[in-house]
Amino acid sequence: MAPKAAVYPHIRTIHNDTVQDDYYWMIDYFKQGEKSQEVIDYLEKENTYTSSMLEDTANLQENLFQELKSRIKEKDESVPYYKNGYYYYSRTEEGNQYFKFCRKKGTLEAEEELLLDIDRLADGHAYYTAKGFSVSPDNRLLAFSVDTVSRREYTIYIKNLETGEIYPDQIRNTEGAAIWGNDNLTLFYTAKNPVTLLSEKIMRHILGSDPATDVLVYEEKDNTNYIAVGKSKNGKYIIINSEGTMSSEIWFLNADFPQTEFRVFQPRMQDILYSIVPLEDRFLILTNDEAINFRIMQCPLDQTERSNWQIFMDHRPDVLVSDIEEFKDFLAIAQRKNGLTQLAIYDLNTQQQHYLDFGEVAYTVYPAINVEYNSRKLRYGYTSLVTPSSVYEYDMGDQHKVLLKQQEVLGGYDQTAYITERLFATARDGVQVPISIVYKKGTKLDGTAPLLQYAYGSYGASMDPTFSSNRLSLLDRGFIYALTHIRGGEEMGRQWYEDGKMMRKMNTFYDFVDCGKYLIENHYCTSEHLYAQGGSAGGLLMGVVANIAPEQYHGIIAQVPFVDVVNTMLDDTIPLTTNEYDEWGNPNESEAYFYMKTYSPYENIEAKEYPNLLVTTGLHDSQVQYFEPAKWVAKLRATKTGDTVLLLKTDMDYGHGGASGRFDYLKEIALEYAFLFKLEGIVPSHTSEQ
């Protein structure tokens, strides 16, 4: 029998609006309240119920896990990149969950130096993530960061690469990145508020000193901004970036003198974003100042205020400029046009520009690891729904490209056996919304095939078409996969994002539903075979879709869903809340409150039949706290009608990103696929024969 959560009425009154929340108490584990154990007990009961309801898929899940894992090349190596006299790379070994971080001096034929053995370091930890590998300019020291809880609170460690010693300088509660000054003694890092987990301070650490004595070099007073510290590719500047949804500000100093004061590049301006790229003789500035899709400006190295900015590359209303990869003589400029990514190569000497050509209807291209400033070779990544992830090296001078590595799919993969399409659905307000589709040849397009519709639609994050070897387990069983590029992302330019946030957020949800309707009307599927999936802010999308179009979907997978929007945005002690005001609005203001209340999934549950639902979360999630999906499921259980399935799976060891190992996360995917296959009547024996 499904668990029934206890009811402890909690009254919320704001803007003369009173709401009773029967499950507010579930926040107690996060708040360390008196009902903390009751929260754990409830989550474990839900887990037990989910296991019992999917017990008949246990063999199917195991078979799927083995199938997914069998496509992964266990012994593998990344494409080496060159920096400051060394080639760096990571490699994985058969049977191990993690990796080794290595380097070779001068040539790839040199003897390997094993810098970090993450497999060994992770031993005994349920969760382990290491990142932020930063080698000192003299190549002697390695700074790296570790999270063993899955709340993205990293401890920075420093290793002597000559002696193997791990120094006693352990810097706790950071964002993870450690940036070296050119003196090989000074490190800069971002410190987090231990309660809200906001990045609030940039600190300076001197090697060998007590981290408790680290010096504050920058403090962010605006709690709607994120901050970070980095280093320019040419090695000349340490750069602090403070950015919110609507404005940004940059501070910088000469990396040769890391103990001097930072100075502001240009004080923050209302509704203006900017980032900088240092060149030999000037700064480039990527900004939306008088340019909604961004343009590139330039200024002298010693005159950085806005009054000194001059046009380098002007704004084009049909092209979003998203990134600049700088080299001594070239720029690689990432752009978006008609919903697709593209790379423009600009020669700083000749001032000539050309574009790379890719030849597919839907694809993704992006600058890869390019750490060497004095190079004319661009590394870029390329993938599509049918093309495995590939790394190319492109000589920007002679315009010649070489494929360095393509993801190997074990067991054989025939790209020609799959078809990808680019479609456009008309939303209810007349806007054309792109859809990227992939399916296996021979799949019937008469409405009988099952179809999984996916989207995100927030923060200007574009969901580009990429390859997934895991997805083959869907396609080979007759599923169609549809990636819908709805408003709230930036696929069609900055306005695409602006039209899917704040007081226009409903466009995001309507776009998704209207794309699903289009797929039904064009006989890709029927509502009996249409499924939806989304995570985090995409999980919010799933919650809204379940409320406003339950009859259109047979099943929904909501991963770590942000579904209790009003309550979360009212609580500024919850991690990341204040950073989100420019995305969703501040409900302390009545207009924002009443608007988000109209769509917040938790607020709008009704006594009606809902699609079959699988909801996943992590107890240690720092992005979307566990209590949001837990409350949502409890209220749905108590309110919905009909006999559709409602399942909640809480991972008691992990957080927002799920498992840390390269295989464990496949168990989560196997669970989700088994849920879909059970709804479709695809029996376990089918899987066993694959």
The residues annotated with a catalytic role in the active site are 536, 621, 656
Measured distance CA(21)–CA(518) in Å, rounded: 37
**Contacts (Cβ under 8 Å, ≥6 apart) of 475:** 418, 438, 439, 440, 443, 481
Q: How far is residue 596 CA from its own chain's centroid?
A: 23
176: burial class by Cβ within 10 Å (0-12, 13-18, 19+)? buried
DSSP class per residue in 300-313: -TT--SGGG-EEEE
- Sign, Cα dihedral of 59, 65, 70, 75: negative
Choose among 360, 335, 358: nearest CA to 346.
335
- Sign, Cα dihedral of 357, 358, 362, 364: negative
Q: What separation in angstroms does the CA of 524 have from each of 435, 460, 530, 557, 594? A: 12, 28, 9, 20, 37
Residue 572, token pair as written in the block:
């500024």
Measured distance CA(146)–CA(131) in Å, rounded: 7
Measured distance CA(329)–CA(528) in Å, rounded: 56
Looking from the CA of 601 toward its CB, the CA atoms found within 13 Å total 30
Q: How far is residue 273 CA from its own chain's centroid?
A: 21
CA angle 202, 138, 203 (to 5 degrees): 10
Strand, helix or coil at 73? coil
In three-state form (DSSP H/G/I as H, E/B as E, the rest C), the secondary structure along 645-665 is CEEEEEECCCECCECCCCCCH
Strand, helix or coil at 584? helix
Measured distance CA(70)–CA(60) in Å, rounded: 15
